[in-house]
Chains A and B, each alone.
Chain A
Amino acid sequence: MTDHRLRTESVTVGYGAEPVVRDLSLAVPDGRVTTIIGPNGCGKSTLLRTMARLLRPTSGRVLLDGEPVDAVPTREVARRMALLPQSPVAPEGLLVRDLVGRGRHPHQRWFSQWSPEDERVVALALALTDTAHLRDRPLDQLSGGQRQRAWIAMTLAQDTDLLLLDEPTTYLDLAHQVEVLDLVTRLNRERGRTVVMVLHDLNLAARYSDHVVVMKDGVVVTEGGPHAVFTPALLASCFGLDADVLADPRTGLPIVVPALSAAGRGSCPQRAGRAAGAPR
């Protein structure tokens, strides 16, 4: 087959008449952590949702293992690719183990609802996400970070090589953001999972990604390793951000430090322009 399990070919997607993603081709590197970044409304979540088959492109196609994803049966897609949607909500009273158990759905049949394999994979997912001790707790009693780890455990229980995460750190404080992304890194390094995620925070994207895809106005502006992507010129042109890029003293990875806009005039009009931009 191809050397990329997941790729898009000239994909155009939109909710109404105006396309949100335009003629976009992207190959997701296997076995790596790929992060899609870009200003609000650039179409990054739309792209991820299209790759996950939640949205149907108006033209172009998404290929999963060389096959158009629309031609693959829904259950089969769910056995190869797991998705964590943006800020998911669990029903009241749902226990962590029930949530994680539901990740086995694509592997189950009406006569086989809880096989030893199901049990083994769920136990592993709980262990990997460090949620085993929470298994009998209702989700609504957990902290934001614990809850997000339980949701990730559910996607792990799907036992897929491909993981798509839509803003997995939204609404979490910094410590919990780091906790979740450390977990993502571990899954990639130790379990060989291919991860595609959407992140808002540029510094976290720089720190946790092998491959960074920068989007603006529905197209890919540039992609590559963090060092290649995070440059003052790109931050200015794509995010309208006047910033320096420093090197992390410990890892050497880029750190984005926005310049102080004491004069005000330089950045304010740009910011206003961004706020008035298209909603996501």
Chain B
Amino acid sequence: MSTLSTTFRAGPVSWLVPVRAGLVASGGLLVLAALVALDLALGDFDISLPDVVRTLLGGGDAGQRFVVLELRLPQTLVAVLVGAALGLSGALFQTFARNPLASPDILGVTRGAALGAVGVIVLSGAGGYGGGLVAGTLQQVGVPLASFAGGLLAATLLYLLSWRRGIDGQRLVLVGIGLSAALTAATSWLLVKARIEDAASAQVWLNGSLNARGWEQATPLLWTMAALVPLALLLARSLNALQLGDDPARGLGVRLQLTQLLTLVAAVGLVSVSVSAVGPLEFVAFVVPQIALRLTRGSRPPMLASMVLGACLVVAADLTTRVLLPFALPAGLVTAAIGAPYLIWLLLRTNRRVTA
């Protein structure tokens, strides 16, 4: 265990520290820190980086405190949390299914969450043109809850439809693609039937936006992650064994169905709470774990590195939409613009390998 990992031992404790994955995660953290600083500094009202740091440490004048701590910090925090949650969720899904295509975007879990949210926006009729998320109490509480429930329901449906004396990764992906299409169709139908104002409001949400997100989104994200991230990390060893296939994993003493169920619960919870906070940020959960895998050169998507890189991608998307582009654009479109070409590349590459 020399190049890829090193051993840490103290008494009865012994850990394998994956060196390369650790380096990637640490490097990612540095990049993330820089992106977060920029995200806090730049906007309609630019603040210098030293002033940002001073303000974060308790200094700064009233104006800087307001802009950095009250306007930008909550939104940046949401971006970091959502990115980390989506990255980890994708890593779990892809390891579980032993398939890089298995991400919540493609399996229909994200679509289910979207359908739930659109349902509330449209059916409650409380949208009102330009009202967006803050139009009424029902929307403020109802949309995140409905999208969370939608994600869970879609995942349950996926699980039940894919179940044939166990869960097979290939079948999971195929069923997921079908489910995803059906849920998208249902969402479109709702949009067509809706009043134009509600449809517009729903469409804004559907694009996935980090705009005007604050503590009311950050808090549920924090709680969910506090529960599910440790669970995911505890599952890591069993997932290593699960990677070898169902039979070898059971031969190695893995409780297969329990591990699969817990993995799905963690992955679905993470993606559902993300979607309920900011809407569907397309392709983050799909692309990030694969990039992390290629950087760490392991045999499965690394969890920590996927979280860090996911956070980097979403904060970068936030920066892009707020600062770089001359016009406002939802962050979900930026992540989709990065993800779609990658999907095509992955499909072409996989196809080539099969035919070669």
Contacts and interface: CB of A to CB of B under 8 A. Distances in A.
Nearest to B353: A92
B245 A89 contact: yes
A89 B297 CA distance: 19
A83 B241 contact: no
A102 B300 CA distance: 14
Contact of A102 (B247, B250, B252): B252
A74 B82 CA distance: 36
Contact of B12 (A103, A111, A118): A111
A21 B303 CA distance: 43
Contacts of A99: 244
A198 to B, nearest CB: 13
Interface in B1-35: 1, 3-4, 7, 9, 12-16
B130 interface: no
Contact of B244 (A53, A75, A79, A88): A88
Contacts of A24: none
B253 A88 contact: no
A111 B299 contact: no
B16 A88 contact: no
A116 B8 CA distance: 11
A77 B249 CA distance: 12
A76 B14 CA distance: 21
Contacts of A97: 1
A153 interface: no
A29 interface: no
B98 interface: yes
A221 B1 CA distance: 48
Contacts of A94: 243, 299
B98 A112 contact: no
A98 B20 CA distance: 15
A98 B14 contact: no
A130 interface: no
Contacts of A158: 251-252
A108 interface: yes
Contacts of B352: none
A27 interface: no
Contacts of B297: 93
B252 A54 contact: no
A105 B256 CA distance: 13
Contacts of A79: 253
B253 A106 contact: yes
A82 interface: yes
B251 A82 contact: yes
- Counting chain B residues whose Cβ lies within 8 A of the other chain, the interface size class is 20 to 34
Interface in B300-325: 300
A95 B245 contact: no
B241 A113 contact: no
B131 interface: no
Contact of A85 (B13, B234, B248): B248
A110 B248 CA distance: 20
B298 A93 contact: yes
A82 B298 CA distance: 25
Given A85-B251, A110-B237, A114-B14, A136 B3 contact: yes
A78 interface: yes
A115 interface: yes
A105 B236 CA distance: 12
A52 interface: yes
Chain A's interface: helix, strand, loop or mixed, by majority?
mixed
Interface in B261-311: 297-300
B254 A74 contact: yes
A53 B250 contact: yes
Residue among A89, A103, A113 with the highest chain B CB neighbour number at 10 A? A113
Best-surrounded residue of B234, B245, B255 (most CB of chain A within 10 A): B245
A120 to B, nearest CB: 13
A254 B14 CA distance: 51
B80 to A, nearest CB: 26
Given A74-B253, A102-B240, A114 B12 contact: no
A85 B14 contact: no
A17 to B, nearest CB: 14
B251 A78 contact: yes
A165 to B, nearest CB: 11
A140 to B, nearest CB: 10
A108 to B, nearest CB: 7
A114 B14 CA distance: 5
A39 B87 CA distance: 49
Contact of B248 (A49, A77, A88, A95): A88
Contact of B299 (A76, A78, A91, A115): A91
Contact of B252 (A53, A92, A103, A113): A103
Nearest to A111: B13
Contacts of A118: 14
Contact of A115 (B14, B238, B254, B298): B14
Nearest to B243: A91
Contacts of A93: 297-299
A49 B246 CA distance: 12
B15 A78 contact: no
A4 B238 CA distance: 31
Contact of B98 (A74, A91, A155): A91
A92 B255 CA distance: 24
A246 interface: no
8 contacts: A52-B251, A74-B250, A74-B255, A83-B247, A105-B237, A105-B254, A111-B15, A155-B251
Given A99-B244, A158-B252, 14 more contacts: A74-B253, A83-B248, A85-B251, A88-B247, A91-B299, A94-B243, A95-B299, A102-B244, A105-B252, A106-B252, A111-B13, A114-B9, A155-B251, A158-B251
Nearest 4 A/B pairs, CB to CB: A78-B253, A83-B251, A106-B253, A85-B247
